[in-house]
Amino acid sequence: MMDYTLDESWHSPRIEPYRALELDPGSSVLHYGQAIFEGMKAFMGVDGKVRLFRPERNWQRMVASAERLCMQMPDLEVFLEGTKALVQTDQRWIPNRPGTSLYIRPTLIGTEAFLGVRPSEQFIFYVILSPVGAYYGENISTVKIWVEHEYSRAAPGGIGATKAGGNYASSLAAALRAKKMGYAQVLWLDSSQKKYVEEVGTMNVFFLIGDTLVTPSLSGTILPGVTRDSVIDLMRHWGRKVEERPIELDEVIKAHASGELKEVFGTGTAASISPVGVLGMTDQTLTINGGEVGPLAQELSDSLNGIQYGRIPDELGWTIEVKMPAVRQPKAPTIPEFAL
């Protein structure tokens, strides 16, 4: 944890036991939504080394989110060293079964108490951890997605490119409705015309059309995902075709009809690669690749996980090793099977 005030800037960095936060009822986070966060993971490698995956990119995105919401962020060194120190302190909680990891949630909130719309001049930055299991279990699998035509995730000029708490609150109604219809999440379209594809659930989205992997370009309404960026970099590293450009829903439908739509998948920290087997709409349903995981999604998933867990060389320099104390702490309490 760290505290920020206008007079002292960032100060009092510390690691302390997980506890409830004490906030004034007038804190800006509660009234004016000054809250941003990130999602990262620490991976226990097959070689016994603990790795973070591109954490500097999470810091860069958090800085951009903070600037948009008129907030202050600690610098990169504090972000990285503080996170590593916390992972070292809680190393006994890092699971080592295949696909498991230690989830890391850096958070920044406005804490100044006032009634009147203006930016807070006081903030708390904190990081919390939790062991998590493999998103799909042993192997990745496809999900069904509903194409959302009523609700919108973000609008031009808004905060769609930030990882702000308010973005997620506004997405809940559409997601709940989709789940009642038997879908895992929604495919978001642009807010004005409901014509262009933007994101899938809380993830970036990719379409393999012919031999070209296509993802919507970052236009200010789409979150610049770290996994998204990694997929693009991997494709270029492999010498394969990848494009960032606007994608119309009609183009996806026509590509499916012609047989050119080979795969659809989402990308994000939680699931890494999330293949889409079905796109549902009011008047039609598109089954992608026979409802099965496509070869490119599987290859990308294997490659990203291989780098994160140290199974394959990190040729692009994406991981940072967290050096652990020579003497391990006492074993953590048993983590319930359902939690992993």
- Which run of H or of E encompasses 61? helix 55-68
The ranges of the chain annotated as CATH 3.30.470.10 are 2-133
The enclosing H or E element of 84 equals helix 76-89
**Listed residue (185, 164, 159, 158) closest to 174, CA to CA:** 185
Q: Which residues are registered as beta bridge partners of 207?
A: 214, 264
CATH class of 2-133: alpha beta
Give the whole-angstrom CA distance, residue 225 versus residue 204. 7
- Which residue in this structure is represented by tokens 């890092």? 94
The pLDDT of residue 232 = 98
Question: Amino acid identity of 302?
Answer: D
Angle at 120 between CA 118 and CA 123, to 5 degrees: 165
Domain 143-308 superfamily per CATH? D-amino Acid Aminotransferase, subunit A, domain 2 (3.20.10.10)
Domain with CATH 3.20.10.10 in the chain: 143-308
Burial environment of residue 180 by CB neighbours within 10 A (0 to 12, 13 to 18, 19 or more): exposed
Nearest to 106 by CA among 158, 42, 152: 42
pLDDT at 268: 95
DSSP string covering 19-33: ------TTBHHHHH-
- Token duo for residue 95: 């699971």
CA dist 257 and 188 (Å) reads 21
SS3 211: coil
Q: What is the pLDDT of residue 98?
A: 87
Do 269 and 308 form a contact (C-beta atoms < 8 A)?
Answer: no
Neighbours of 326 (CB within 10 A): 5
Tens-digit pLDDT string for the chain (340 aa): 999 999 999 999 999 999 999 999 999 999 999 999 999 999 999 999 999 999 999 999 999 999 999 999 999 999 999 999 999 999 999 999 989 999 999 999 999 999 999 999 999 999 999 999 987 666 789 999 999 999 999 999 999 999 999 999 999 999 999 999 999 999 999 999 999 999 999 999 999 999 999 999 998 999 999 999 999 999 999 999 999 999 999 999 999 999 999 999 999 998 899 999 999 999 999 999 999 999 999 999 999 999 999 999 999 999 999 999 875 555 655 555 544 4
For 15, residues 6+ apart whose C-beta sits below 8 A from its C-beta are 1, 82, 85, 86, 89
Chain mean position to CA 168:
12
Distance CA 210, CA 124 (A): 48
